[in-house]
Structure 1
Amino acid sequence: MLKPKTEVDIYIGKFLNNRYLIKDLIGKGGMGRVYLAEDAAKGGTLVAVKILMLSLGTQQISQRFAREVFIGAQLGRKSKNIVRVLSYGVDDKTPFYVMEYLLGKNLKQILKIQPLTTAKFLDICQQICLGLQCAHQGISLKGEIYPIVHRDIKPENIFMIEDANQGEIVKILDFGIAKFLTERSGMTLTDSFIGSLPYCSPEHMEGRKLLDVRSDIYSLGVLMFEMLTGKHPFQTQSNSFGTWYQAHRFQIPPTFEEVNSQIQVPQELQKLVMKCLAKEVSDRPQNISQILEKLEQVKHQFNDHSWQAASLVQLVPVTSVSEKECLQKTWPKNKPIAPIGFPHLLHTTQGTVATIWAMLPQEEISKFLNKTHGTEFIAKMNIYPMLLWVTVLCDAQLSLTRWLSYFLDLKDQKGQKIVRVLADTGYYHLLFFALEEPTRCTHVMTLTFTASQRQQLADYLTINQKSNELISPEQAKNILKAEYEKVKLEIRQNLAIDSQSEKAGFKEWMSKIFERFLQLLIRN
C-alpha cells in the first residue's frame, strides 16, 4: 500500500541572507508562513521569520515592501504592544521579514480553551487599544506623519506573552503588511483582497482605498464581541466573500442576552461594542482614545463594584470551631523536627479545610501572630497546569519575613482537591508548631482570600480540564521557582523602602505593601 507523500518544506534547514537559519515551521496563514530561526549574526539568538507567499516582480514593489516593513519596525519601537520587526530581506524574489520571537499563545488559541472574565477582557482590550492608538497616531517619514491602519485585526494577530515583571503583555502582529499586499499593482479587487473575512469592515470589503482608523475600530468591535460572548456576532451559511459582505453590511448583530441569557457584561461595555460594530463609519467611535476612555470608566466601575461586593458579602464562614480542632493536632511522626512546612487537607466538623503545617522557632512564631500576611498563586497554565502557592509572613518592623511556598500539580488528584477546597471555602488555616515543643500545635492563624482570588482558583480548575502539558512537571517547577525568586527580590526591596519612609500608620502602610505585592506576582 502506497503511503501518502508528506510535504517537504524547502525552507527548513536553509540560510536566508546567509544569516537566518530556518529551524521549524511554527505557523501559517493566508499571507505566508512563520518559522523559528536562529540569527547567526547574534550568536544563534532565536527569532521569528515570516516568509510571504508572493514574488516581488518589480523594483517598485520591492521598494513598497521595504517601506511597509520599515513602518512596522518604527511602530514596534514606539509601543510595547506591537511586535518588534528586526530586519527584512528577499530570497529569490520572495520577501521575508524578521521579528522578535514570542513565547506564548495567540488570542484564538486562548479563546478556544477558556472564556474571558470581565477583568481579563478589560486588561487585554486596553493593551490592544494602546497598540492601535500608537499606530493610528502615525510615524514620521521624511518629515510627514503617516497614520497607520492595521487592516487585519483578528484573534490570530493578537499574541499574549508572560513577563516576569509586567505580567501578561499583548502584542499586535503584522502591522503594515496587509496594506502592502492589498496595494500590489496589477491586481483586481478579488485577487488582491487581503484580510480575514469574519473581521473586515464593510468599507474594507467594498475596496475603498482611503480606509481610516474606524475600519480597525469595526474589526476591534467584532473581536470584542467574540471575547465577551465566545461567539461571532454574525452567522453565515458559507465562507464566501459575498456572504460575509452581506453580513457585515446588512446583518444586525444580536444582543448579548440573545447570544447567552446568563452572560454578565456591564451595560456600558455592551453599548461600546455595539457602537464599534456600527455599519456607518460616522456612527462608530471616531478614534481609539474614545474607546480607551470608556474602557477606563468601566474598569473603575467594575473594580468599585467588586470591592463593595467583597466587603458586603460574608466570603468566609466562622472558623473558630475548626481553629479549635486544629489546636488538638499533633506533628506527624513521619515528618522531621525541623523548620519545614507542608499543605494538608484536614477533615473537621465543618467539612474539609485546607491547612498549612509549619514548624518554626517559638520566637519567630510569636513575631508573626496577628501581624501582616499575604497569599498569592504563581502559575504558567499555558505550558503546564501547576500552581506555586505562596504565603508571606512579616513582623511589624519587617526585621523578619518568612516565605512559605508549595507546588500544587493540577494533574494530580491531591493538588486538584486542595485547589477546589481553597476555592470553595475561601480560607485556610496555618498551624504553627514550635521547634522547642514540637508535639502539639501551639497557634492557628486563618488566612482568607479575596473574591477575585477565589474566582482565579476556580478558573485554574476549569482551564486544567482543557490544558496541554507542553513540558514536564519538573520543568514547570523550575520555571515557577525562577519567577518566584524574581518576585521575592522586588518584594524585599519595596518592603525595605517603605519601612524607612513610613514607620507610623502601620495598618495603612501594610495595605500599600500588599497592593504592590499583588501587582508584582505573576498573573494568569
Structure 2
Amino acid sequence: MIFMLENKIESMVGQKAEVDDYIGQFLNNRYLIKDLIGKGGMGRVYLAEDTAKDGMPIAIKILSLSLANQQMSQRFAREIYIGAQLGRKSKHIVRILSYGVTEDKTPFYVMEYLKGKNLKQILKIQPLTLSKFLKICNQICLGLQCAHEGISLKGEISPIVHRDIKPENIFIAEDSKEGEIVKILDFGIAKFLTERSGMTLTDSFIGSLPYCSPEHMEGRKLLDVRSDIYSLGVLMFEMLAGKHPFQTKSNSFGTWYQAHRFQMPPTVEQVNPQVKIPQLLEKILMSCLAKEVSERPQNINQILEDLQKVNIQFNSSIPSNNDDISKDSFPVQLVPATLLSEKECLQKKWPKNKPIAPIGFPHLLHTTQRPIPTFWAMLPKQDITKFLDNIHGTEFLSKTNMYPMLLWLTVLYDTQPSMSKWLPYFLDLKDSKGQNIARSLAEVGYYHLLFFAIEDPTRCSHVKTLSLTAKQRQKLIDCLDMNQYSNESMLSSQTKNLLRTDYEKLKLDILQKLAAEKKTETESLKNWMDKFFEVFLKLLSCP
C-alpha cells in the first residue's frame, strides 16, 4: 500500500534538508523513520518503513510538539478517527493504517504511502482534457459521497464535511493494477454534521481562502455538504480552465470574501477561450458555484448523475472496443450510496403475495432521486445474524447468442464453503421488468440487500449495500445491447439450464475469490479501531 501528503504539506523538493530528531528513530519498535517529506499546520509527515512487512514504505504523521495541547490533540484524534473509517469504506480516501504515541508522548498515525502527484502540481503544467477531467472528477465525487454519507459516532451515522477541498488535497496516485487512482487527503479540519459548535469569525479561521464557500467564510456554525460542493465547483472550474474563476487584487480574507460572496462566476471559455466544454457541464459548474446554498446541488449524487450524462455524450462518438473508455462509461460506485434509501429499506414490509419461505427476488426502490435496485431475501434469523458481518459477493452470468437471460448471483460467504448461502435470480432481458433492473444496476453501480427474518417477516431487519465493479456494470450494458441480436429460437428454459450448469461449475472459483478477499481483512485493524474509538470518545468529552 502506498501513501502521500496531506493538505497543508508544501513540496520539499529543492529545499535544504533540515535537522530532525525523528529521522533514524524506530516508532513502536516497528516503523523506521527515513526522511521528512512535508510539514503543515498540525504536524510533520515522514517517509518510513514498516519493518514488520519487509520494509514496506508508509508515511507517518506526527503531531507538532509546539501544538501538542488539548485542543490540537482532540483535532488530531478526530482526523485519525475520520480517516480510519472513511479509508476503509472508499479507496478514494487516503487510508490510515495504525496509530500510536512516540517516546515523548506525541501522537502519530500511519498512512498508506502514495506515489504520484497532487492536482496542484498537475494543473501547473496545463488544464485537464475533458476525458481526464471526467475520470478524475468522478473519483473525487465518489470520495466526497462516502464522507457525506457519514461514519458511525456514538451509535449514530454522522455525515462528514471535508471543509478544505482544493488541488493540494486531491492526489493522483499511481497503481500498478488499476492505473491512476484519485485520493482525497487531509480530513484535519473536517466537521461532523451532528456537532453543534462551529468556527466563527471571532475564532481563528481554518480553511483555504480561494476555495471556501461564502457561508464558510461567514462563520456559519452549521455548514453542510453543500459547502464542499461549492469548493468542488471552484476546483472543477480550475481543472478545466487552468485558472481560478475569481480574480482578486490581494490574498486577504476580505478580498476573497468579496469574490466568493459577490463576484459572478465567468464561463470557462471567458477565462480560457481555447477551452470549450459541453453546455451541460457548464451548467453543472454554475450550479455548484451558486452563492446561495439552496441553489446548489443538494448532494454529490446529483453531480455524479449529471457527470454521467456528460460522460455518455462525450463517449458516444468513441469506438466501444476501447477498454479504457468502456471502464469510464459509468462512475464506479465504490461505497454504499444514499443513507436515505437504506433507511427507506428498513421500513419495507414483506409483500403479501410472497410466501413466508427462504426465497429471494429483486425490486426497484423508487426514491426522490432515482430508482434504486434492491434484492429482498428471507432467511432464518440465525442465518441473517451469521452473515451480517461476513463478506458478500456478486456475480452475473450470461450466454451469448442465446435467449437474453442473465443469472444474478448474490453470495453470502462462510469460511466453510458448504455453509455459504447462494441467492440466485434469473433476469429475463426480454421482459421490461428485467431490463429496468439490469439497467438500474448498471447506472447506479450498487444494490441494497434487504434481509427479512422468517420468524418475524413483518419488516426488513437489516440492510447491506453491495457495490458492482466497472467490469460488471459494463457487462450489464453489453447484455442489454445484445438483446436485439439474441437467438429467438432458443427457449428461455434452455438458457436457464445452461446457466445453472455454468453456475455449478463456477461455485468453487467464486468461493476462492471471496476467501481471498476475506483474508485481506486484517483483524488487527478492527482491534485498534475499537480501541481507538474509546480513546477518541474520551478526548471529545474533555471540557
User: Shorter-chain-normalised TM-score: which range?
Assistant: 0.5 to 0.7
Change in CA separation of 1:153 and 1:5 when aligned onto 2, cut-off 3 Å: closer
Change in CA separation of 1:64 and 1:35 when aligned onto 2, cut-off 3 Å: closer
Give how far 1:24 is off. 1.3
Give how far 1:13 is off. 2.2
Give how far 1:163 is off. 2.4
Q: 1:151 aligns with which of 146, 163, 187?
A: 163
Counterpart in the other structure of 1:261: 273
Seq. identity, % = 79
Counterpart in the other structure of 2:306: 294
| Whole-angstrom distance in 1 between the partners of 2:93 and 2:16 | 39
Instruction: Please tell me whether the aligned partners of residues 141 and 300 of structure 2 are also in contact (alpha carbons under 8 angstroms).
Output: yes
Counterpart in the other structure of 1:89: 100
- Once the two structures are superposed, the pairs formed by residues 313-392 of structure 1 within 5 Å of their partners are none
1:76 and 2:77 equivalent? no
Change in CA separation of 1:208 and 1:77 when aligned onto 2, cut-off 3 Å: same
Counterpart in the other structure of 1:386: none
Instruction: Please tell me whether the aligned partners of residues 126 and 242 of structure 2 are also in contact (alpha carbons under 8 angstroms).
Output: no
Change in CA separation of 1:217 and 1:7 when aligned onto 2, cut-off 3 Å: same
Instruction: Please tell me whether the aligned partners of residues 86 and 93 of structure 2 are also in contact (alpha carbons under 8 angstroms).
Output: yes
SS at match of 1:25: strand
Counterpart in the other structure of 2:38: 27
Counterpart in the other structure of 1:10: 21
| Whole-angstrom distance in 2 between the partners of 1:265 and 1:274 | 13
Change in CA separation of 1:277 and 1:21 when aligned onto 2, cut-off 3 Å: same
SS at match of 1:265: coil
SS at match of 2:161: coil
Counterpart in the other structure of 1:119: 131
Give how far 1:31 is off. 4.0
* Structure 2 residues not aligned, in runs of 5+: 1-14, 323-470, 472-484, 487-543
SS at match of 2:124: helix
Change in CA separation of 1:163 and 1:151 when aligned onto 2, cut-off 3 Å: same
Change in CA separation of 1:96 and 1:246 when aligned onto 2, cut-off 3 Å: farther
Runs of 4+ in 1 over 6 A off after TM superposition: 185-188
1:103 and 2:110 equivalent? no
| Whole-angstrom distance in 1 between the partners of 2:261 and 2:319 | 42
Instruction: Please tell me whether the aligned partners of residues 38 and 44 of structure 1 are also in contact (alpha carbons under 8 angstroms).
Output: yes
Give how far 1:217 is off. 0.4
Give how far 1:105 is off. 0.9
Q: 2:55 aligns with which of 18, 41, 44?
A: 44
SS at match of 2:250: coil
Counterpart in the other structure of 1:202: 214
Task: Show CA shifts across 1:486-510 (max 9, x none).
Answer: xxxx9xxxxxxxxxxxxx99xxxxx
| Whole-angstrom distance in 2 between the partners of 1:75 and 1:186 | 22
| Whole-angstrom distance in 2 between the partners of 1:273 and 1:191 | 31
Instruction: Please tell me whether the aligned partners of residues 48 and 100 of structure 1 are also in contact (alpha carbons under 8 angstroms).
Output: yes
- Once the two structures are superposed, the pairs formed by residues 212-251 of structure 1 within 5 Å of their partners are 212-251=224-263
Change in CA separation of 1:306 and 1:262 when aligned onto 2, cut-off 3 Å: farther
Give how far 1:189 is off. 4.2
Counterpart in the other structure of 2:363: none
Give how far 1:202 is off. 1.1
Give how far 1:17 is off. 4.0
Task: Show CA shifts across 1:9-42 (max 9, x none).
Answer: 3332233344332211223344433211112343
Counterpart in the other structure of 1:282: 294
Counterpart in the other structure of 1:339: none
| Whole-angstrom distance in 2 between the partners of 1:265 and 1:49 | 41
| Whole-angstrom distance in 2 between the partners of 1:10 and 1:205 | 38
| Whole-angstrom distance in 2 between the partners of 1:122 and 1:96 | 35
Change in CA separation of 1:16 and 1:202 when aligned onto 2, cut-off 3 Å: farther
Instruction: Please tell me whether the aligned partners of residues 66 and 88 of structure 1 are also in contact (alpha carbons under 8 angstroms).
Output: no
1:273 and 2:273 equivalent? no
Instruction: Please tell me whether the aligned partners of residues 198 and 221 of structure 2 are also in contact (alpha carbons under 8 angstroms).
Output: no
Counterpart in the other structure of 2:76: 65
Instruction: Please tell me whether the aligned partners of residues 249 and 255 of structure 2 are also in contact (alpha carbons under 8 angstroms).
Output: yes
Q: 1:134 aligns with which of 114, 121, 146?
A: 146
RMSD: 3.1
Task: Show CA shifts across 1:278-319 (max 9, x none).
Answer: 1111111000000000000000011114459x9xxxxxxxxx
SS at match of 1:113: coil
* Structure 1 residues not aligned, in runs of 5+: 311-489, 491-503, 506-524
SS at match of 1:77: helix
Give how far 1:186 is off. 12
| Whole-angstrom distance in 1 between the partners of 2:160 and 2:28 | 29
Instruction: Please tell me whether the aligned partners of residues 69 and 177 of structure 1 are also in contact (alpha carbons under 8 angstroms).
Output: no
Give how far 1:203 is off. 1.1
Instruction: Please tell me whether the aligned partners of residues 105 and 161 of structure 1 are also in contact (alpha carbons under 8 angstroms).
Output: yes
Instruction: Please tell me whether the aligned partners of residues 15 and 21 of structure 1 are also in contact (alpha carbons under 8 angstroms).
Output: yes
| Whole-angstrom distance in 2 between the partners of 1:45 and 1:235 | 44
Give how far 1:276 is off. 0.4
Instruction: Please tell me whether the aligned partners of residues 55 and 94 of structure 1 are also in contact (alpha carbons under 8 angstroms).
Output: no
